[in-house]
Amino acid sequence: MAATSRQASSVSPDAPAPVIVAIDGPSGTGKSSTSRAVAAKLGLSYLDTGAQYRAITWWMLTHDIDVKDTEAVAAAADRPEILSGTDPAEPTITVDGADASGPIRTQEVTGAVSAVSAVPAVRTRITELQRAIAAGAPTGIVVEGRDIGTTVLPDADLKIFLTASPEARAARRGGELKGSGGRPVDLDATREALLRRDAADAGRKTSPLRKADDAVEVDTTELTLEQVIECVVTLVEDKQQAR
Ligand code: DC
């Protein structure tokens, strides 16, 4: 049950201290694209924590564990080996040695992930992996998720909370689904599914989706992806200069 980072780890002795950036928010706000691009531009590692929750959910489904059975999910939470590669140019995720990057994006996993990620034993397990990966990032890391600023890395150097209107989020998610080769997407259904998942993520008892008190909120509704990236890069650079 190890966590790995496949990036090079040679850092010169007078290099600046690693910078930890937490980016949280609901789905469809541009979190993943923004986080990856910011990490790539600044030479940082990148961790998609949603992919880890999806990976453990996929493992539960493929091992015939009833994802509604909280006790069964909790009892199995330590069993899968989940490894995340943190190069923003090529993030990877494997479960028990198998590439999980395709299977974790299926509707079946998307429909089950809120239930699995609400189980405290699952959150404890995945949070440990996340902290180990962040601590081992040589130059720093951009970690995206729902509870990074509040729970996983409360001492992050910079916390960002991305938001967008439900319509903008549904349109973006619909575009992603179409782009991945699916049938034409029903935007109303996409919007309803997004809102249902957000409500489950924000309403759960353990580490709900919530803006940290000291997070900078960025509403991306009227912004292009490039504008959001630029905004976050500037915020990180300002932080680095102030240290
Ligand atoms: O970002 P995503 O849609 O791939 O995330 C999948 C699910 O994982 C999401 O519905 C909530 C959960 N999640 C979480 O509970 N905590 C995180 N830090 C990241 C994701």
Is ligand 1 within 6 A of the CB of residue 114? yes
Is ligand 1 within 6 A of the CB of residue 139? no
124 lies in a domain? yes
39 lies in a domain? yes
User: In the predicted model, is pLDDT for residue 44 greater than 70?
Assistant: yes
pLDDT tens, 132-142?
999 999 999 99
- Report the distance separating Cα 148 and Cα 222, nearest Å: 25
12 lies in a domain? no
| Residue 178 binned pLDDT confidence (cut-offs 50, 70, 90) | low
| Range(s) of the domain holding residue 206 | 19-242
Pocket test for ligand 1, best of 24, 47, 108, 117 (most atoms within 8 A of CB): 117
Mean pLDDT within 213-227: 96
148 lies in a domain? yes
1 lies in a domain? no
CA of 196 to the centre of ligand 1 (A): 13
Mean pLDDT within 95-124: 96
Mean pLDDT within 192-201: 88
pLDDT tens, 62-79?
999 999 999 999 999 999
Q: Considering its fold, how many domains does the chain have in total?
A: 1
User: In the predicted model, is pLDDT for residue 223 greater than 60?
Assistant: yes
pTM over 0.85: yes
166 lies in a domain? yes
Pocket test for ligand 1, best of 27, 32, 53, 106 (most atoms within 8 A of CB): 53
Q: Are strands 216-219 and 92-95 parallel, antiparallel or unpaired?
A: unpaired
Is ligand 1 within 6 A of the CB of residue 35? no
- Return all residues near 154 (Cβ < 8 A) that are at least 6 apart: 212
User: In the predicted model, is pLDDT for residue 8 greater than 80?
Assistant: no
CA of 241 to the centre of ligand 1 (A): 31
CATH code where residue 168 lies: 3.40.50.300
| pLDDT computed for residue 11 by the predictor | 57
11 lies in a domain? no
| pLDDT computed for residue 164 by the predictor | 94
Q: Are strands 82-85 and 92-95 parallel, antiparallel or unpaired?
A: antiparallel
